[in-house]
Amino acid sequence: MVTVANKAGLEGISAGESAICQIDEEKGGLQYRGYRVEDLAEQASFEEVAYLLLMGELPSHQELQAWKRELDYAGFLPDPIPQVLRLVPATAHLMDTLRTGVSLLGMMDSEANNPSFEANVHKATRLIARLPLILSLACQSKQDKHQPISAGTCAENLLYLLTGTRDKAKAKELEVSLILYAEHEFNASTFAARVTASTWADLYGGVTSAIATLKGPSHGGANEAVAEMLVKIERPEKAKAWVLAALDRKERVMGFGHRVLKLEDPRSVIMKRRAKALSENMGEMRWYEMAEIMDQTMQEEKGLLPNLDFYTAVVYLLLKLPIKTYTPIFVTSRVAGWCAHIIEQQANNRIMRPRATYIGPPTREYLPIQHRSSRGTIGPGISPPDDPVLN
């Protein structure tokens, strides 16, 4: 006897146990391995948080320095990966290039099929170091090629690779976003990675699955959509009318609401505060003022609060990061969480094999083809094409 919970999208269903991330739906709290995300965002580096997710504990000073050396050592793309990626069409989506790049890295890694904890940590380290390089290569023209900064932090390198900017203060704003994007329990891409890992597929296969899942517009891309929305609105005085008109048209205003965090998203609170401070420091308040008006309007009209993507888009616009890179930047951060979940899944593994609630027709008798009547459609509900060959 199999009991199947009939909830669309598995909402509210526990799909497993994890020691990596805790979400308090009632209070809006979020912790990585027991540490409040507010404390990590304000006091830790991205490298410390990535180490915490992978290893289970924050590093000592000596451990952190060793970890940074490993990241620096891995900060190159082995041949022939750059040559192959340069063959990718210029029109290709950056997420597709990242997905392909991860697959290529898996083919070049001698430890790819070694599922041990040590080997998986080595692979995760290489991915954290190399995904920004793949993204940079995918974005570059021959005129704007940037190399990693020697001994730079992950955030400093990413900012420089994408904008050519060497600015520690601005890199810190990017770093906070990386920390906040690094992990969020059993979201769709993480769950996809764990399903893949549960078959004993290699870590690169799990991350490839996750990237393909994150590309879907219902999961990733909200920060890009928010930025495009702000660019389209142009001025703060137009923001409220724009939101009201969009709601009248029954259109979704991106960057609001969350599937799990029904109350306040603590990550959004952090990014709103930092977006305001950065706007004031740069003397550029336009994006923040627009966002604040939209935020207030959405609360008044729909009772919806902003999620992490909303004010992150303001910070990224101020940092002059290309909008098309926003979701790929998410990847360069969330890969730490994905790898932590893949490692955790394979440490106590059983292949994922859920059940479905059957809603199809009851048992039927097979009819020979000469006794079947035409339904006037091709397949389930698909009308036949207007094609003289078929007609």
The residues assigned a catalytic role are 219, 258, 309
How far is Cα 88 from Cα 93, in angstroms, rounded to an integer?
Answer: 10
Helix (H) or strand (E) holding 24: strand 21-24
Distance in angstroms between the alpha carbons of the first and the last residue of the chain: 48
Nearest to 291 by CA among 305, 28, 303, 261: 305
The two counts, helices (H) then strands (E), for the chain are 16, 3
Nearest to 302 by CA among 349, 370, 254, 233: 254
Q: Which long-range contacts (CB under 8 A, 24 or more apart) does 71-76 make?
A: 71/47, 71/125, 71/128, 71/129, 71/154, 72/129, 72/150, 72/151, 74/125, 74/126, 74/128, 74/129, 74/130, 75/129, 75/130, 75/133, 75/148, 75/157, 76/130, 76/133
**SS3 assignment, position 152:** coil
**SS3 assignment, position 256:** strand
CB count within 10 Å of CB 361 equals 6
Q: Is 96 exposed, middle or buried (0-12, 13-18, 19+ CB in 10 A)?
A: middle
Q: Is 303 exposed, middle or buried (0-12, 13-18, 19+ CB in 10 A)?
A: exposed
How far is Cα 355 from Cα 359, in angstroms, rounded to an integer?
Answer: 13
Which residues, in sequence order, are CB contacts of 65 under 8 Å at separation 6+?
Answer: none
Which residues, in sequence order, are CB contacts of 264 under 8 Å at separation 6+?
Answer: 28, 305
How far is Cα 128 from Cα 52, in angstroms, rounded to an integer?
Answer: 14
